């Protein structure tokens, strides 16, 4: 997949993973695993980027005798998810147009 | 590989980079390994699952140098730079004035040439009229051959003035274009300086 496209999509994925409640690094990867593979280094970059874009906040808390970072979505982050849903409808329309006529798909 | 070995190995691979960034990433990976251990994996398995030190280090190095390039356009002047700038002003300021003066004189010269060309054109027209009028005068006043010669010369000037007109027009257009190109060139130079800094 186009890297730029993938990057934008993975950003939204991570946001969705922390949409309902705050989460932490490994849990995000686990939650996404049935749908998409995410490596640690990719996740790190995404989390940093989202933090810079004010789409999530970070807090460090103690857990089982060690420190763990928790990520929580912001209103800006939620907005981005909604934006993505709208964008996706456009992509779907384009997809229907591109595959129009293939395999008897005549629905424009 | 144990967690400690992994982290130390990774830190060593990243030894050339800004240590605050390295520390942040090491903590991140440490956390990832520990989370996996909590899930039930052994430390060895957890470390293996996170990835190889070489791969991760290569990725981090590429990323950091990437963002370093993008972070370049910071136009902040340190106090030291301001002091140097002020102290050196007699030198760079006078050089700047000299350069501007030269550019200005070139500009004026260019237009002086254009004006001169138009003056030539005007004089052709002048001669044309003068020749024809004067020639007519001579012809009617009893000196037909002189008159004819003058009219001939006048007509020739008229013809030349037509050429001169097109020539001047082209030269003027060229001059305007030249000035525009130079102006754009200077602007680009200045903009590039900003980006590089």
> What tens digit of pLDDT does each residue of B39-98 get?
888 989 989 888 888 989 998 888 887 766 665 555 667 778 888 888 888 888 888 899
pTM (global) more than 0.95? no
Q: Do A40 and B28 touch (CB under 8 A)?
A: yes
Q: Residue A4 — pLDDT band, cuts 50, 70, 90?
A: confident
**B31: chain A residues, CB-CB within 8 Å:** 24-26, 66-69
- CA angle B131/B159/B127 to nearest 5° reads 25
Residue of B nearest to A28 (CA): B32
- Structure tokens, B188: 């680009």
A66-73 sheet: strands from edge to edge: A23-24, A66-73, A56-63
Q: Which residue of A has its CA nearest to B63?
A: A45
Interface test with B, best of A26, A60, A70 (most B CBs within 10 A): A26
What percent of chain A has a predicted confidence (pLDDT) above 70? 94
Distance CA B50, CA B71 (A): 29
**Residue B53: alpha-carbon gap to chain centroid:** 44
* C-alpha dist (Å) from residue B7 to A41, B3, B19, B20: 14, 6, 14, 15
Q: How far is B113 from B119, CA to CA, in rounded Å?
A: 10
Q: What's the pLDDT score for residue A85?
A: 93
pLDDT band at A103 (very low <50, low <70, confident <90, very high): low
Q: Distances in Å between the alpha carbon of B151 and those of A1, A26, A52, B115, B165? A: 83, 101, 84, 28, 21
pLDDT value, residue A104: 58
Contact: A40, B51; criterion CB under 8 Å: yes
Q: pLDDT at position B196, please?
A: 56
Q: Residue B187: its pLDDT value, please? A: 85
């Amino acid at each position: 997949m186009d890297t730029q496209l993938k990057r934008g999509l993975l950003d939204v994925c991570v946001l969705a993973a922390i949409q309902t409640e705050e989460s932490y690094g490994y849990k995000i990867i686990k939650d996404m695993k049935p749908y998409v593979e995410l490596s640690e280094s990719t996740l790190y970059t995404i989390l940093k980027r989202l933090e810079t874009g004010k789409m999530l906040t970070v807090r460090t808390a103690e857990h089982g005798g060690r420190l763990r970072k928790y990520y929580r979505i912001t209103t800006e982050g939620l907005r981005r998810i909604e934006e993505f849903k709208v964008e996706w409808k456009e992509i779907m329309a384009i997809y229907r147009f591109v595959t129009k006529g293939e395999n008897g798909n005549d629905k424009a | 590989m144990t967690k400690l070995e992994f982290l130390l190995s990774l830190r060593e691979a990243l030894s050339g980079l800004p240590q605050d960034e390295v520390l942040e990433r090491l903590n991140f990976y440490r956390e990832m390994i520990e989370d996996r251990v909590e899930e039930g994996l052994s430390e060895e398995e957890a470390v293996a699952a996170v990835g190889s030190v070489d791969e991760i280090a290569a990725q981090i190095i590429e990323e950091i140098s990437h963002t370093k390039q993008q972070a370049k356009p910071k136009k902040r002047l340190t106090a030291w730079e301001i002091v140097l700038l002020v102290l050196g002003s007699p030198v760079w300021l006078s050089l700047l004035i000299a350069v501007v003066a030269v550019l200005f004189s070139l500009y004026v010269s260019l237009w002086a040439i254009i004006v001169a060309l138009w003056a030539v054109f005007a004089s052709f027209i002048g001669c044309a009229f003068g020749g024809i009028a004067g020639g007519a005068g001579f012809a009617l006043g009893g000196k037909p051959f002189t008159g004819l010669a003058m009219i001939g010369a006048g007509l020739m000037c008229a013809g030349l003035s037509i050429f001169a007109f097109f020539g001047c027009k082209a030269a003027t257009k060229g001059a305007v274009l030249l000035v525009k190109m130079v102006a754009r060139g200077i602007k680009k130079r200045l903009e590039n300086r900003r980006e590089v800094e």
